[in-house]
Structure 1
Amino acid sequence: MINGYVQILDMEEALNLFNVMPTPDNMSWNSMISGYAQMGNLERAREYFEMMPQKHLVSWSTMVAGYEKNRDYKGAIELFKRMQAEGEKPDRHTLSSVLSVSTGLVDLKLGMQIHQLVSKSVIPDVPIENSLITMYSRCGALIESHVSFDGLKSSKDVISWNAIIGGYASHGYALEALELFESKKKSNVQPTYITFIYVLSACTHAGLVGGGWAYLKSMVSEYGIEPRIEHYASLVDNVARHGQLEEAMDLIKSMPFEPDKEIWGALLSACRLHNNVELAPVAAEALMRLEPESSAAYILLYNMYVEAGQWEAAAEVREMMERNNIRKQAAFSLIDSSYS
């Protein structure tokens, strides 16, 4: 019953039952720890962890995982070190959590240390290997990432493919990322929307505007995946960055979503890159509405007007900043330097 309430995150009822148990067993203690950790209440989870009469491997793993899921990486590492100091050997679940910590911290040294523990402690399975691929990819150690990827042979799942494709795409190896995606097509593993986020990002970095359009269309036609706003943001960035600003604007208008700050930011940056003072105000004003306290859009638009010699428009932007109480020192120092 306690575990049932924990699964629906009704910790009040779980606590009521826990408090009337004559002698709570380890499963009950671990359920309480897991429930509070899932709710983000790490202080309460740690309190129950420390009160446990006897801690077992599941208890340690649950608490370490709780820290990792809530991005308290320091807490996870400190508890993992204490776990080892007290003679408790980690299992694949603990090691997977600490690998995720090293990924979150982009700490290659820590990740390699955990890899050594993995080699000594457990027989790696697909989830562990995927964690290693992800860690090495995020840290830019692409050779090591590919070694782990190749080690899976025919056991690769979509997480494996996403991790390796994303690693190459995010570290500037766009063509290699796209080659991997084409290789993945020969397997029986179906891509997910995450796969296409990496693929479209690779197209942007490689300057493949036509490829970006083609991959967006294939998401629906070949795989039945509805594009999300992240996919549109990547394609808008790609199209706009390569000077097709009107096409980028048409794409924004055709989206089934309200454009977010990433999309308008990509368009505004492209307007600055290509000196397009016609579309820049549209993107800048949209960003001002989405981020009313940020000075970034004001500064970029102001500088564009100054460079174009449109002094009246530049003065209007400055007046807007003052009227909207955008008074960050950095903003005004940049603006004032434009007059000199």
Structure 2
Amino acid sequence: MKVKHKLRQAIDLLYSGGCSTSEAYTRLLLECVRANDVVQAKRLQSHMDLHLFQPADTFLHNRLLHLYAKFGKLHDARKLFEKMHKRDVFSWNAMLSAYAKSGSVRDLGATFDQMPYRDLVSYNTMIAGFAGNGCSSEALQVFLRMQEEGLEPSEYTFVSLLQACSQLLDFRRGRQIHGRIIACDLGRNVFIWNALTNMYAKCGDIDQAQWLFDQLVDKNLVSWNSMISGYLINGQPDKCIDFFHKMQLSGLNPDQVTLSNVLTAHLRSGFIDEASKVFHKIKEKDKICWTTMIVGYAQNGREEDALLLFGKMLAEDVIPDSVTISSVVSSCAKLASLSHGQATHGKAVLMGVDDDLLVCSALIDMYCKCGVTSDAWEVFKMMPSRNVVSWNAMIGGYAQNGQDIQALTLYESMLQENMKPDNVTFVGVLSACIHANLFAKGQEYFDSIRIQHGMTPTLDHYASMICLFGRSDCIDKAVDLVNHMPHEPNSLIWSSLLSVCALRNDIEHAEVAARHLFELDPLNAGPYIMLSNMYAARGRWKDVSYVRSLMKDKNVKKFAAYSWIEFDNKVHKFISEDRTHPETEHIYKELNRLMRKLQEAGFTPNTNYILHDVGEKEKIETICYHSEKLALAFALIKKPDGEIPIRIIKNIRVCGDCHEFMKFVSKIIKRTIILRDSNRFHHFTGGLCSCKDNW
């Protein structure tokens, strides 16, 4: 810094009227080059041009060219190169370096072809330039030309070639180059050793990479990073994390590359809190780091954290890409947060990624999961191209929102456009058939999976057919399908059978399904509760007691049913008979007022859904204050505008009483209520539900 300060003082003195000869300028220019002071070098060159001075020799020209190349000043380098009357191989090599550093691979290749003479540095610069800019195949082609000209490769050549092989995952070529390295007696060079370790790790031979790593006496940061990223690439995140800890014990501090790999390893391993700690240690977070953490939150049930982190990313002026946006949109879908989803859609438009396939598919899914299929359809229509994921999102979205005919019509359009359906497509199609009571059509679509499309039906498809048979009052067919299906029935199959048995009150087959579930998924409370409720509905309280004691013996925890609603970008959560909300008094007052109004209109709470051996008064008090009813009352207080639909989300299936309650409310207050439960969407309008009371 002192040298640069003295240079500035000397240059200022020159400008202010000192000895302004060509020699004085040239001497100071050389000092700038030696000090790597590209800013003052540019100032001097500009003044020399003004006074029509030229550097005294080609040597200084070349030094200046290399300075511009080193700092990526391509425009200045090109301008100086074009003015040079004499150019030697050093001048040409400097321009190659400038093009390589700026990423101008087309100019790099063109300049190389124009060179009157090339040396080893020319070829090394070309190979490194192509490999460093992702043109690995071109780098290997240049090496072939180099061999044809009889030039012997150096350590720099081999490092770049191994980088190219790593990028191409060309294990065969990488091993050939390793053989050449041994023949040239360069096998113990630390740079080559690191490059070899990296190549073997990325090409899948992690054992050979480990062996090479173990032979290194002085392991540097590059060595450790090669192994850490290698284990991550080879699907061994635990080993990646283990190596990171060993690296720390060795006394080396991680860099951005290390931390990015370790961050990804933690997220693959599901250690979301550890990943968060690593993320916050990264000082200069790039787009990849932000996106990796956001995706990690989104995929590990931390959707709210994903949205918060996205906000911080934007505040740091980091520009998101299509992967970031699609992950945030998916988080909005899981939370059913329409306002956040719409805001993210706006960001996608601003970023110019709103027509990206990944983003569009996520937007369709989000709008459908927020119950706004009309907006999903608009996104679908505007897509410049569609893949099977896009079609599936729209078909499944229609099916889940009670627009079953639209779902099946869209599927037929998909076939007409010669788009091949996949397994997910038929999950949506069969779901539409179930809720539309199209039993024959559902059987036809199921058969077409194998006959028309040459695919093997999956367990998801068999589960759909069990529901289809059960809802058509053909429990025997459903049981027969379970007994004769080519797959071993899993918990999904037995859960589907148990659900339709509960629907049809078939206790005999329900007990069989429940016993299988107790074995396959012993800690899942659902089957115990469902069977217990069936016993309770029949007044078999001894059997109810037996199931409950079984749960207690196995330490099975019953999960809490809850509902939530979004208001002013905040989620408000309620459980049955909840009195913890700050506005509890107003909520209960509003709900009681609404209940009286509904009873005047003919609504009577159905206490048959309270399957406990308690009095009628206790049953009424319990059923009147279910979580979705409390959420509705809160929404009516906070969102009195009758034009805006009320959106409620519940984590389990809505009970029959609450379903009837919502139908009455929608008619009395003349307002649409959209309730998303664990099974499907319910759009209540004018006393009717989109599910047609079939859920």
Q: TM-score, normalised by structure 1?
A: 0.85
The match for 1:287 is 514
Find the aligned partners of 1:319 and 1:22 in 2 and give their Cα distance: 61
The range that moved more, 287-296 or 159-168, is 287-296
The match for 1:39 is 269
Q: Which amino acid aligns with 1:300?
A: M
Find the aligned partners of 1:218 and 1:211 in 2 and give their Cα distance: 11
Q: CA deviation at 1:90?
A: 2.1
Q: CA deviation at 1:255?
A: 1.6
Structure with the bigger percentage of helix: 1
Q: Are the structure 2 counterparts of residues 286 and 338 from structure 1 closer, same or farther at C-alpha, using a change threshold of 3 Å? A: farther
The match for 2:361 is 130
Find the aligned partners of 1:27 and 1:112 in 2 and give their Cα distance: 34
C-alpha contact (below 8 Å) 2:241/2:262 kept by paired residues: no
C-alpha contact (below 8 Å) 1:91/1:122 kept by paired residues: no
Q: Are the structure 2 counterparts of residues 68 and 275 from structure 1 closer, same or farther at C-alpha, using a change threshold of 3 Å? A: closer
Q: CA deviation at 1:50?
A: 1.7
The range that moved more, 164-173 or 282-291, is 282-291
C-alpha contact (below 8 Å) 1:240/1:266 kept by paired residues: no
C-alpha contact (below 8 Å) 1:284/1:301 kept by paired residues: no
Q: Which amino acid aligns with 2:329?
A: L
The range that moved more, 266-275 or 206-215, is 266-275
1:15 is matched with which residue: 229, 238, 244?
244
How do residues 170-189 of structure 1 correspond to structure 2 at under 5 angstroms? 170-189=400-419
Q: In the alignment, is residue 6 of structure 1 matched against residue 236 of structure 2?
A: no
Q: How many residues align?
A: 326
The match for 1:160 is 390
1:149 is matched with which residue: 380, 389, 394?
380
Find the aligned partners of 1:192 and 1:139 in 2 and give their Cα distance: 24
Q: TM-score, normalised by structure 2?
A: 0.43
How do residues 113-128 of structure 1 correspond to structure 2 at under 5 angstroms? 113-124=343-354, 125-128=356-359
Q: CA deviation at 1:228?
A: 1.6
C-alpha contact (below 8 Å) 1:65/1:94 kept by paired residues: yes
Find the aligned partners of 2:327 and 2:550 in 1 and give their Cα distance: 46
The range that moved more, 35-44 or 158-167, is 35-44
Q: Which amino acid aligns with 1:283?
A: A
C-alpha contact (below 8 Å) 2:536/2:611 kept by paired residues: no
C-alpha contact (below 8 Å) 1:14/1:32 kept by paired residues: no
Find the aligned partners of 2:253 and 2:419 in 1 and give their Cα distance: 48
Q: CA deviation at 1:84?
A: 2.0
C-alpha contact (below 8 Å) 2:535/2:544 kept by paired residues: no
Q: CA deviation at 1:210?
A: 1.1
The match for 2:287 is 57
SS in 2 for 1:88: coil
Find the aligned partners of 2:270 and 2:551 in 1 and give their Cα distance: 36
Aligned residues with identical type, % of pairs: 31
Find the aligned partners of 1:38 and 1:272 in 2 and give their Cα distance: 39
Give CA deviations for 1:16-42 in whole Å, capped at 9, x if unaligned. Answer: 575469675433321221111111112
C-alpha contact (below 8 Å) 1:264/1:283 kept by paired residues: no
How do residues 32-111 of structure 1 correspond to structure 2 at under 5 angstroms? 32-111=262-341
Give CA deviations for 1:57-115 in whole Å, capped at 9, x if unaligned. Answer: 22211111111121211221222222222232322222122111101111111100000
Q: CA deviation at 1:246?
A: 1.8
Find the aligned partners of 1:338 and 1:237 in 2 and give their Cα distance: 34
SS in 2 for 1:336: coil
How do residues 239-258 of structure 1 correspond to structure 2 at under 5 angstroms? 239-258=469-488
Find the aligned partners of 2:371 and 2:357 in 1 and give their Cα distance: 21
Q: CA deviation at 1:158?
A: 0.6
Q: Are the structure 2 counterparts of residues 21 and 120 from structure 1 closer, same or farther at C-alpha, using a change threshold of 3 Å? A: farther
Give CA deviations for 1:236-273 in whole Å, capped at 9, x if unaligned. Answer: 11111111222222112112234445544544454455
C-alpha contact (below 8 Å) 1:5/1:13 kept by paired residues: no
Q: Are the structure 2 counterparts of residues 316 and 175 from structure 1 closer, same or farther at C-alpha, using a change threshold of 3 Å? A: same
Unmatched tracts of structure 1, length 5 or more: 307-313
